[in-house]
Amino acid sequence: MNRTSSDLSTLGHRIRHFRTARGLTLDDLGEQVELAGSQLSLIENGKREPKLSTLQAIASALGVALTDLLSEEAPNPRAALEIELRRHQQSPLYTELGLPSVKPTKGMSDDALAALVGLHRELQRKATEAIATPEEARRANTELREIMRERDNYLPEIEDLAEERLKAAGHVRGALTHRTVSIMAEQLGLELIYVNDLPHSARSVTDLANGRIYLPPASIPGGHGLRSMALQAMAHRLLDHTRPTSYAAFLQQRLEINYFAACCLMPQAAAVDFLSQAKRDRNLAVEDFRDAFGVTHEAAALRFTNLATKHLDMPLHFLRVSEDGSLAKGYENDGLPLPMDVTGAIEGQIVCRKWSARSAFERTNRTTELYQYTDTPAGTYWNATQTGTTSAGEFSISVGVPFNQAKWFRGRETTTRAVSTCPDPSCCRRPPSDLADRWRDQAWPSARLHAHILSPLPSGTFPGVDDNEVYDFLERHSDG
């Protein structure tokens, strides 16, 4: 019959339940089924698996059907707690602690049993909750960035998967349409539904029971955001993601779904054709790549980092910098000295004031990319930077390459040049000595706390998402 210990435990409890209800002792019942009371006790305690013939004999002695004994339900609430306690105590989570197992004897009160089981449930919940301290989150981020740097930001398995799904959906060339994205979803047994009341903490919610992906309504008709979100939601499925049990796992999954969406929106073969031709023409420009595939400047720049080293033989870097000068996202495999803290984390670090990623904010005409050569302690780099605005403020997107690669890019003839000696503090962090002398004892600023530094990192079954909101939302929308 091959039963698990939990099944055996339930079976034992059910036999005991019917036996005591009939006022029989172990020996009484044992005699009727030709088994020693001690053997019957082992069966009732879930420690021995009875033969089918024995079970049949027990059932007829107790006057119940065999299926009554074999039911998977605990015979009463007390037994349910006892079964659950046994299951928890056998879990690796508990045995790892090296604590003794408690046997729920008759003398143990229902309250004591309920309290023990409650503690076990809480232990289980805490262990599976994807909680991350800020330190843990930063460490996980740094590790992932280093892994991707070793891979030149390129994931061939996901490239292949995306090409295969696109082909299956009939996509031939050019920008990916909403229609094709819907077909891709259909082929996975999923329907895309646009709603106005998504939980605030979720970008999309997938209802696995009813095969639906809920997305926000398009704020900009035809914008690339929706296609991307739908593709990301599908990617969880296609990549066989399971519930993330750590922040690192959560980050890895997020990277993979973003990567998949980017591969679909800018498919490898077409993108490499486009970029290779531009390179031959010495006219590479992220803005052209962006426009050819109908995506955001940031999406195009990031996609360029996936393909440039592998297919164009070009190391490079990518920066997303906020108007306060802090690095929101960064990648390099060209040796650009990114600002980092002692743990190697770069997020939130202030980039050099001399870099185009920051000087671009000072330009009055921002319709085109800013091209700039920057001398750094690691050599000279050429950069193209584009600025943009969100409700959270301005940001800049930069893609840059070492000097000897600039020749492939539009804007290589720029005469804008800067010298950066960061992390040397005299580069741009330390104020000029005359100003410092004048103001050192006269200035008394009051610091603004950065909310995001103190805000707790996401918790819940899915990091950053409020379970309550999500379940409530699904209740509202499901038919049953």
211: left (phi over 0), alpha (psi -120 to 50) or beta: left
Contact flag: residue 422 with Zn ion (CB under 5 A)? yes
Contact flag: residue 336 with Zn ion (CB under 5 A)? no
Contact flag: residue 357 with Zn ion (CB under 5 A)? no
Contact flag: residue 249 with Zn ion (CB under 5 A)? no
| Cβ contact 368:359 at 8 Å | no
Instruction: Tell me the three state secondary structure of residue 176.
Output: coil
Task: Provide, rounded to whole angstroms, the least separation between the CB of residue 348 and Zn ion.
Answer: 17
Q: Which stretch binds Zn ion (CB under 5 A): 10-18, 26-34, 357-365, 424-432?
A: 424-432
Residues 6+ apart with CB under 8 A from 143: 248
CA-CA distance, 137 to 148, in Å (whole number)? 17
CA-CA distance, 87 to 94, in Å (whole number)? 10
Contact flag: residue 420 with Zn ion (CB under 5 A)? yes
416: left (phi over 0), alpha (psi -120 to 50) or beta: beta
| Cβ contact 231:165 at 8 Å | no
Nearer Cβ to Zn ion (153/322): 322
Nearer Cβ to Zn ion (338/352): 352
Q: Which residues in the 298-327 window bind Zn ion by CB under 5 A?
A: none
Matching residue, tokens 């209740």: 475
Task: Provide, rounded to whole angstroms, the least separation between the CB of residue 185 and Zn ion.
Answer: 47
Nearer Cβ to Zn ion (355/408): 355
CA-CA distance, 149 to 340, in Å (whole number)? 15
Q: Which of 74, 428, 470, 474 binds Zn ion (CB under 5 A)?
A: 428
Task: Provide, rounded to whole angstroms, the least separation between the CB of residue 426 and Zn ion.
Answer: 9
CA-CA distance, 440 to 328, in Å (whole number)? 31
Q: Which residues in the 432-471 window bind Zn ion by CB under 5 A?
A: none
Other C-beta atoms within 10 Å of 398: how many?
27
Nearer Cβ to Zn ion (427/457): 427
Task: Provide, rounded to whole angstroms, the least separation between the CB of residue 406 and Zn ion.
Answer: 21
Nearer Cβ to Zn ion (268/372): 372
| Cβ contact 290:388 at 8 Å | no
Contact flag: residue 427 with Zn ion (CB under 5 A)? yes
Burial profile 369-393: b = 16 or more Cβ within 10 angstroms, e = fewer = bbbbbbebeeeebbbbbbbeeeeee
Q: Which stretch binds Zn ion (CB under 5 A): 29-37, 140-148, 149-157, 348-356?
A: 348-356
Contact flag: residue 265 with Zn ion (CB under 5 A)? no
Radius of gyration of the chain (CA): 31
Nearer Cβ to Zn ion (137/352): 352
| Cβ contact 306:259 at 8 Å | yes
Nearer Cβ to Zn ion (93/427): 427
Residues 6+ apart with CB under 8 A from 404: none
Contact flag: residue 352 with Zn ion (CB under 5 A)? yes
Q: Which stretch binds Zn ion (CB under 5 A): 87-95, 202-210, 297-305, 416-424?
A: 416-424
Task: Provide, rounded to whole angstroms, the least separation between the CB of residue 427 and Zn ion.
Answer: 3
Nearer Cβ to Zn ion (40/422): 422
Q: Which stretch binds Zn ion (CB under 5 A): 122-130, 209-217, 304-312, 417-425?
A: 417-425
Q: Which stretch binds Zn ion (CB under 5 A): 19-27, 105-113, 414-422, 439-447?
A: 414-422
CA-CA distance, 48 to 436, in Å (whole number)? 82
Strand (E) or helix (H) holding 388: strand 379-390
Nearer Cβ to Zn ion (367/433): 433
Site residues (CB under 5 A) for Zn ion? 352, 420, 422, 427-428
